[in-house]
Amino acid sequence: MKKSALPIDTLDLAAGPVFVATMLAEARSLKKRPELRSFGDLDDATAEQLSDPALPADPLVPVGYERRDTTASLLMLAGNVAVNLALATSVNRLHRFLYDKRITNLGGRRGSFVISMVAWDLLYYWNHRWMHEVRLFWANHVSHHSSEHYNLSTALRQPWSGYLLAWVWLPMPILGLRPEQIARAGQLNLLYQYWIHTEAIDRLSPAAEAVLNTPSHHRVHHGANPQYLDKNYGGILITWDKLFGTFEPEVRKVKYGLTKNIKTFNPLRIGYHEFIDIFRDVRSARGVKAKLGHVFRGPGWSPM
């Protein structure tokens, strides 16, 4: 199955109706739950209440859907698709150029597509981690974390400035993985991550939880609880987090959203509010070092 140069192909088009059907099914399923959390129920919780690692784990009680929140997520997806379409040809040409200059030929070996999937997933881990560790990159990714709900529509709340980290995948064509393999691996990886944005599924089997990124693991990633911050970056495999020391199990009830929530459903503000804050901080900072720090240090950094 060949992946086209454009980021939208038959599989993507088929995914659209599946997204709609599954979101409707999830919303109906959650409404039938005997218990739902009250929105904002953890707003006044202390850090100790949010992060006490003591067992047993809290039961999973969903937050559910909110119409304006879901609408904002869908508008963010529309913007993301528009940006990707605009840049698709340039990205494909760059990958093709680097593939023509490849230093080895991994794409010509048996099992090369499996290699592509694993390589893309590993690079995604670092891409995702750097988006949490470098403020400029966080300005792109923060939009995905801006919802205080957690459901399948949250998966579609995609950022508009992903080109800032397009370079992360350049080692793949250099190593001889074909551009169409890279595109397909990325497509399948991101489609996999759709279903883990849900509170309708509790924990899977111990074997699955040990290896795969699951709804439980990814709920942690979307948590503003102190013990959950900057954890569980994996795409398909949670193995990378366990290997690189960023894994955290789901124990306490998750407080979704940001440490300081932006309280808006405006897609332009969702997409660009952190870039605006960076500009303001850089403008007011004294000295080149401080200005660069506001751009390239971690989110929340300030000069001493």
**Mean of all residue pLDDT scores within the chain:** 94
Q: What is the pLDDT of residues 261-271, one digit of tens each?
A: 999 999 999 99
Give mean pLDDT, residues 13-35: 94
- Residue 109, pLDDT score: 85
Report CA-CA distances (Å) from 20 to 67, 90, 134, 206, 246.
14, 31, 34, 30, 33
pLDDT band of residue 8 (cuts 50, 70, 90) is: confident
138 or 13, which is more confident?
138
- Residue 267, pLDDT score: 97
pTM for this structure? Answer: 0.94
Q: Which residues pair with 143 in a beta bridge?
A: none
Residue spans per domain, the chain: 10-259
Q: Which two tokens stand for residue 136?
A: 């400029």
User: Is the pLDDT at 287 greater than 50, yes or no?
Assistant: yes
- Residue 54, pLDDT score: 78
Q: How many residues does the chain have?
A: 304
Give mean pLDDT, residues 214-219: 98
CA 166/CA 153 separation, integer angstroms: 24
The string over 100-109, giving b where at least 16 C-beta atoms fall within 10 Å of a residue's C-beta and e elsewhere, is eebeeebbee
For 97-101, 104-108, 171-175, 207-211, which range has the lowest pLDDT when averaged over its residues?
A: 104-108
- Residue 304, pLDDT score: 77
Q: What is the DSSP letter of 245?
A: T
- Residue 12, pLDDT score: 87
pLDDT band of residue 7 (cuts 50, 70, 90) is: low
Contacts of range 105-111, beta carbons closer than 8 Å, 24 or more positions apart: 105/176, 106/175, 106/176, 106/177, 107/176, 107/177, 107/178, 107/181, 108/176
What value does the CA radius of gyration of the chain take, rounded to a whole number of Å?
A: 20
For the chain, helix (H) and strand (E) counts, in that order, are: 13, 0
Q: What is the pLDDT of residues 125-174, one digit of tens each?
A: 999 999 999 999 999 999 999 999 999 999 999 999 999 999 999 999 99
User: Is the pLDDT at 42 greater than 50, yes or no?
Assistant: yes
Residue with tokens 């883990």: 196
**Is residue 184 within 8 Å of 113, Cβ to Cβ?**
yes
- Residue 3, pLDDT score: 44
Give mean pLDDT, residues 231-239: 98
User: Is the pLDDT at 1 greater than 60, yes or no?
Assistant: no
CA 250/CA 41 separation, integer angstroms: 18
Report residue 212: phi and psi, to 5°.
-95, 155
User: Is the pLDDT at 176 greater than 70, yes or no?
Assistant: yes
Give mean pLDDT, residues 245-249: 97
